[in-house]
């Protein structure tokens, strides 16, 4: 699995429609689903939760949970659906996740994460990876982080995606936890130095491909989050700059034209247009007319209305398609 550039799992953002759009921009980046809880898969609509278009691959599914048996069961579901990786969420600090005793709070119980990894490794053949923080609350020493990585890696995890900020479980919102705790890239670099056989992926604060490429001098891969959602076209040169692929990147208009048949297909299945266009608002970021493009799409789809022609009308503000 090539993890040199990954797109972070983001709740309410990286659903299957967003991932389809991102795949039209880059063929090589590794995409992640939104976090799916084990309870949702065990007792909810697993077909809906695990549905994706084959063109989205390579694709990883992130699970949230803390029970080894449940995590193993859900990992099997993920593998059976054809995902290329299953990832454990050990980084989310939200109150809802904390109430379920998973996410970032699992950093305090590395044995639990290790048991989950071992059970999942026994259940599936696809890679089992962990996405974590560098610490939680006052428990943010390098020694404790290294002990966590050592314990979990001994259970069979060889890839760690590390958000280079600690998480405050009390007093900060999930949004603030993405920006307020200072970035500590040096901590992630040290992990790679001390665990050279592990694959270490750096996450946090990366907004350009130049920044991402520079980090590859220190770590095995990078993960970009919010910037890739709000400005998806930044990924256009990724296949060439990060992965060394030949050929020119697609133009914004080509991406949009290739997305329209997918939009039409999803509309024919009863999906409201705004569920698709909300992921497209940043496609023309920085282009003259982008503000009018966003406004037209937002206003025209606000009440569940609109069709493919709505998108074509919005595109007139940026020169048409």
pLDDT at 115 over 90: yes
Q: Is the pLDDT of residue 206 over 80?
A: yes
Cβ count near 48 (within 10 Å): 9
User: pLDDT at residue 174 above 90?
Assistant: no
- Same domain membership, residue 115 and residue 16: yes
Closest to 21 in 3D by CA, of 295, 280, 245, 273: 280
312 closest CA partner among 256, 254, 232 = 256
Q: Are residues 257 and 140 in the same domain?
A: no
Q: What total number of domains does the chain contain?
A: 2
For residue 58, cis peptide bond before it (omega within 30 degrees of 0): yes
Q: How far apart are CA 263 and CA 71, in angstroms?
A: 34
Residues 92 and 195 in one domain: yes
pLDDT of residue 3: 98
- Summarize pLDDT for 145-155 with one digit per residue, the tens: 999 999 999 99
Q: Kindly state whether residues 17 and 142 are assigned to the same domain.
A: yes
Examine the domain organization and report whether 309 and 216 are in the same domain.
no
Same domain, 118 and 263: no
* pLDDT of 99 strictly over 80: no
Residues 80 and 11 in one domain: yes
Token digits of residue 90: 């050990």
Q: What is the rounded average pLDDT for all residues in the chain? A: 95
Q: Does one domain contain both 273 and 308?
A: yes
Q: What confidence tens digit (pLDDT) does each residue in 73-85 have? A: 999 999 999 999 9
Domain match, 230 and 161 both: yes
Q: Is the pLDDT of residue 171 over 80?
A: no
pLDDT digits (tens, 9 = 90+) for 21-60: 999 999 999 999 999 999 999 999 999 999 999 999 999 9
Q: Which of 92, 105, 116, 157 is catalytic?
A: 92
Q: Which domain-ending residue is among 241, 263, 298?
A: 241
Measuring CA to CA, how many Å separate 291 from each of 250, 256, 301, 305? 22, 17, 16, 20
Nearest CA to 222 among 207, 234, 232, 244? 207
Which of 241, 260, 276 terminates a domain? The answer is: 241
Residue 246 lies in a domain: no
**Residues 263, 229 share a domain:** no
Residue 219 near residue 201, CB atoms below 8 Å: yes
Q: Is residue 235 located within the same domain as residue 101?
A: yes
- Tell me the CATH number at 82: 3.20.20.70
Average pLDDT over residues 310-314: 96
- How much is the pTM? 0.96
Residue 247: inside a domain, yes or no?
no
Query: Quick one: average pLDDT of 299-316?
Result: 93
In tens, the pLDDT along 155-166 reads 999 999 999 999
Domain boundary among 210, 241, 272: 241
Mean pLDDT, to the nearest integer, of 82-101?
87
Give residue 320's pLDDT: 83
- Does any domain span residue 206? yes
In this structure, the answer to whether residues 188 and 295 fall within a common structural domain is: no
Confidence band for 312, pLDDT divided at 50, 70 and 90: very high
Q: Is 92 a catalytic residue?
A: yes
pLDDT digits (tens, 9 = 90+) for 269-285: 999 999 999 999 999 99
**What's the mean pLDDT in 178-191?**
93
Percentage of the chain lying above the pLDDT 90 cut: 88
Instruction: Tell me the residue range of the domain where 265 lies.
Output: 252-318
């Amino acid at each position: 699995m090539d993890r040199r550039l990954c797109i972070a799992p983001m709740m309410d953002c990286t659903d299957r429609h967003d991932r389809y759009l991102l795949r039209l921009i880059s063929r090589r980046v590794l995409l992640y689903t939104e976090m799916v809880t084990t309870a949702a898969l065990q007792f909810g609509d697993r077909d809906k939760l695990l549905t994706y278009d084959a063109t989205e691959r390579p694709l990883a599914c992130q699970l949230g949970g803390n029970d080894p048996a449940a995590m193993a069961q859900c990992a099997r579901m993920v593998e059976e659906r054809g995902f290329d990786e299953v990832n454990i969420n050990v980084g989310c600090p939200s109150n809802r996740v904390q109430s379920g005793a998973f996410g970032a709070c699992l950093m305090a119980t590395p044995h639990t994460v290790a048991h989950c990894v071992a059970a999942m490794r026994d259940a599936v053949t696809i890679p089992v990876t962990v996405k974590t923080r560098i610490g939680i609350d006052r428990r943010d020493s390098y020694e404790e982080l290294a002990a966590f990585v050592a314990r979990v890696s001994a259970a069979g995890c060889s890839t760690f995606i590390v958000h280079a900020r600690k998480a405050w479980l009390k007093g900060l919102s999930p949004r603030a936890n993405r920006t307020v705790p200072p970035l500590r890239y040096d901590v992630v670099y040290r992990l790679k130095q001390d665990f050279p056989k592990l694959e270490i992926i750096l996450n946090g604060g990366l907004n350009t491909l130049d920044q991402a490429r520079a980090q590859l001098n220190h770590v095995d891969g990078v993960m970009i989050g919010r910037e890739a959602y709000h400005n998806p076209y930044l990924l256009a040169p990724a296949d060439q700059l990060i992965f060394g692929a030949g050929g020119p990147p697609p133009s914004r208009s080509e991406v949009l034209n290739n997305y329209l048949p997918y939009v039409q297909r999803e509309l024919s299945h009863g999906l409201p247009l705004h569920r698709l266009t909300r992921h497209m608002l940043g496609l023309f970021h920085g282009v003259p007319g982008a503000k009018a493009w966003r406004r037209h799409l937002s206003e025209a789809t606000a009440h569940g209305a609109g069709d493919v022609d709505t998108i074509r009308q919005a595109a007139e503000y940026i020169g048409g398609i």
